[in-house]
Structure 1
Amino acid sequence: MKAVIFEEHGPVSNLKVADIPAPEPAAGEALVRVRAVALNGFDPMILAKIPGINTPLPMIPGGDISGEVAGFGPGTDAGEFAVGTRVLIDPLIRGKGVFGETVRGGACEYVTVPVTNLVRVPDAVSFEDAAALPIAYGTAYRMIRERGKVLAGEKVLVLGATGGVGVCSVQLAKLAGAEVAAATSSAAKAEQLRAIGVDHVINVAEEDFVKSTQALWGKPRVFDEGGGADVVVNFVGGDDWARALRCVKRGGRMLTCGATNGYDPKTDIRFIWSFEISVVGSNCWTRGDLVALLDLVADGSLKPQISSLRPLEELPTSLQDMIDRTVFGKAVLRVA
């Protein structure tokens, strides 16, 4: 089968299109004909090598996979699924890890997966939109809906708002009826944020997000719940972690699902106790989260933001776009 692989860690030039044997499903597994695959923030990092992550080589990138069931392993109880069923793959395989990270990914024609990781795709959802969902949109859904419980009328600040998780956080907060401010360092991406309904765009290349947030919603006060954001979505961490606490209102929430700019920042716990701030962590997604997202896409409530849609062979171009930070939302590849 055709696949995009790398045999050694390093630059994008290490990626190549190869003809490799198709996998054979074992008992309890399905063989899936891949129709679309999406990239995530960890794909460039896996290619470059993440210390402590055991990446099998040769490696196939791509954690978000949609396609059709092409067969089953011997003796497999297929349950609700049959050959030809349109499916999305839950990328987290218990005991093995995540597709594209510690399990060979979906930038190829066929993958095998436990039947328990299959999620039926509604007819109204394209393979491309389905593939845009699992890792980034699933993570954002759990953080915004299940853990953060963002409500109508709340004021929400999203830092790092233009990647997959950030864009979906904006979309879900707006869908909940919140007033949303979003931070970016790009004038072009600022316009894209406005196009998906952001109420206030903060260009951090030109302005301080703390001062801008306080100018929008007031300065938080210890004994007054009127000023500040109800919710700050902060998965960037780093130097912005402590500063972001200055944006949260008394009794507000800081939501986090990652630390793209550093996991061990200095903090100022005086803000946490003085303003009674809740710091809410969120990790990954559940099968129910993926089903809920597919339903939102199917009924037209949510449209995944696809930054680029290219043939599989052009995966290196899409990966370079991610490294260059020109992607807004998701980079998706079609597998013919």
Structure 2
Amino acid sequence: MKAIRIHEDGGSDVLRYEDAPDPEPGPDEVLVELRAASLNHLDIWVRKGLPSVPKPRILGADGAGVIAGTNERVVINPGIDHDGRIVVIGEHSDGTHAELIAVPRSQVYPIPDSLSFEQAAAFPLVGETAYRMLVTKAHLAEGEWVLIWGIGSGVSTVALAIAKAVGARAVVTSSEARKLERARELGADATVNHATDDVVAAVKEATGGGAHVVVDHVGEATWARSLNAARPDGRICVCGATTGPNPPANLHRIWWKQLTVFGSTMGTRTDFEAVYDLVASGRLEPVVDEVFPLAEAAAAHDRMERGEQLGKIVLRIPG
């Protein structure tokens, strides 16, 4: 089969489109002929060696295709539960940026008839991640306000969709006018340019005192503003740190405002099935940014690293 593999850590130039051995399904596994796979920041971290994984390694957590020898269209849940520990396809084992993958039968779900392979590949990892942080952990409720930084990312885009699905209201940020316009089309109640505007003032004005929930995956560049933009008794979800993990703590803001700060990453089978149900019912529509051929995975990585996307970058796999 053809696959995208890395043999060393580094930039997008270490990605190789090459022949790899066909996987052999084990007991209780199925062989999936992949038709689409999407990119996550996890793929960039693994490619760079953060963490470094055994090589060669096929990247990719998200995938959709057909069970080999059938016409059964399936989407893969990328989080596999090993005795309470979630391991991720593409990080802890070979992934979906390939023509074939063998996965446990319990990890595949029927693709809703309304979705293309590309749409199906666009929601699993970011969907269960966003659902876990917003609903399972933050308990975002109908009528509450959530602040979502950096609307271009896959997690932020699906977080907006989940917020709207549960009846919450959302303020989203970006430094690009086109992304803010697209966010309004996707249902954002308020938008803020975080490069030119006073985010804290804008959020407090839009929400009448601050966000009930703040989703911060940026870290050092946004942490102080996240604390200030939350209303008293607000909840701050930390789910990444793309600009660095060590901001000034500003602990006094946390106790004065009696904020709850928690971390969240990935999700459980329950989280995946909850977001799957939202997609299957039509309450959440996956947002696809751009589709690249599998052989052009390096260009897809470059687009993500430049931060040009709004939604999910997808790889189309011939079959």
Please say whether Structure 1 and Structure 2 have the same fold, judged by a TM-score greater than 0.5: yes
Which residue of 129, 146, 155 corresponds with 1:156?
146
Query: Which one-letter code corresponds to 1:85 in the other structure?
Result: E
**1:126 & 1:287 partners in 2: Cα distance?**
23
The alpha carbon displacement at 1:12 in A equals 1.6
SS of the equivalent of 1:242 reads helix
Aligned to 2:136: 146
Alpha carbons 1:144, 1:169 under 8 Å: kept: yes
Query: Which one-letter code corresponds to 2:7 in the other structure?
Result: E
The alpha carbon displacement at 1:271 in A equals 2.1
Alpha carbons 2:79, 2:267 under 8 Å: kept: no
Q: Which runs of 5+ in 1 are unaligned?
A: 72-82, 219-226
Which residue of 298, 307, 315 corresponds with 1:325?
307
Aligned to 2:100: 110
SS of the equivalent of 1:166 reads helix
Aligned to 1:55: 53
**2:206 & 2:277 partners in 1: Cα distance?**
34
Query: Which one-letter code corresponds to 1:256 in the other structure?
Result: V
**2:203 & 2:261 partners in 1: Cα distance?**
19
Query: Which one-letter code corresponds to 2:18 in the other structure?
Result: A
1:165-211 CA distance string (max 9 Å, x none): 11111111122222211111112212221221112111111113123
Which residue of 215, 228, 231 corresponds with 1:246?
228
**2:273 & 2:45 partners in 1: Cα distance?**
28
The alpha carbon displacement at 1:39 in A equals 0.5
Matches within 5 A, 1:50-199: 50=50, 53-70=51-68, 83-94=70-81, 97-199=87-189
**2:136 & 2:278 partners in 1: Cα distance?**
15
The alpha carbon displacement at 1:335 in A equals 1.2
Aligned to 2:14: 14
Alpha carbons 2:126, 2:155 under 8 Å: kept: yes
Aligned length: 315
Which residue of 250, 255, 270 corresponds with 1:288?
270
Q: Which runs of 5+ in 2 are unaligned?
A: none
Greater Rg by CA: 1
TM-score calculated relative to the size of structure 1? 0.87
CA shift in 2, pair 1:300/1:94, >3 Å: closer
Query: Which one-letter code corresponds to 2:67 in the other structure?
Result: V
Alpha carbons 1:122, 1:294 under 8 Å: kept: no
Paired-residue identity, %: 38
The list of structure 1 runs, each at least 4 consecutive aligned residues, that deviate by more than 4 angstroms after superposition, is none
The alpha carbon displacement at 1:256 in A equals 2.3
Matches within 5 A, 1:259-278: 259-278=241-260
**2:53 & 2:64 partners in 1: Cα distance?**
22
The alpha carbon displacement at 1:327 in A equals 1.0
**1:28 & 1:297 partners in 2: Cα distance?**
26
Alpha carbons 1:119, 1:291 under 8 Å: kept: no
Query: Which one-letter code corresponds to 1:28 in the other structure?
Result: D
SS of the equivalent of 2:33 reads strand
Alpha carbons 1:125, 1:294 under 8 Å: kept: no
| 1:335 and 2:317 are equivalent in the alignment | yes
**1:239 & 1:292 partners in 2: Cα distance?**
32
The alpha carbon displacement at 1:123 in A equals 3.0
Alpha carbons 1:55, 1:103 under 8 Å: kept: no
1:91-129 CA distance string (max 9 Å, x none): 123459322223221111111112232233333333222
CA RMSD of the aligned region, Å? 2.0
Query: Which one-letter code corresponds to 1:37 in the other structure?
Result: A
1:255-277 CA distance string (max 9 Å, x none): 22222222232222222222222
SS of the equivalent of 1:173 reads helix
Q: Comparing 163-172 with 84-93, which one deviates more in the overlay?
A: 84-93
Q: Comparing 295-304 with 317-326, which one deviates more in the overlay?
A: 295-304
**2:164 & 2:3 partners in 1: Cα distance?**
38
TM-score calculated relative to the size of structure 2? 0.91
Query: Which one-letter code corresponds to 2:252 in the other structure?
Result: R
Query: Which one-letter code corresponds to 1:139 in the other structure?
Result: T
Query: Which one-letter code corresponds to 1:69 in the other structure?
Result: I
**1:56 & 1:188 partners in 2: Cα distance?**
40
Alpha carbons 2:153, 2:312 under 8 Å: kept: yes
1:146-177 CA distance string (max 9 Å, x none): 21121222122111222011111111112222
**1:308 & 1:258 partners in 2: Cα distance?**
23
Query: Which one-letter code corresponds to 1:42 in the other structure?
Result: L
Aligned to 2:294: 312
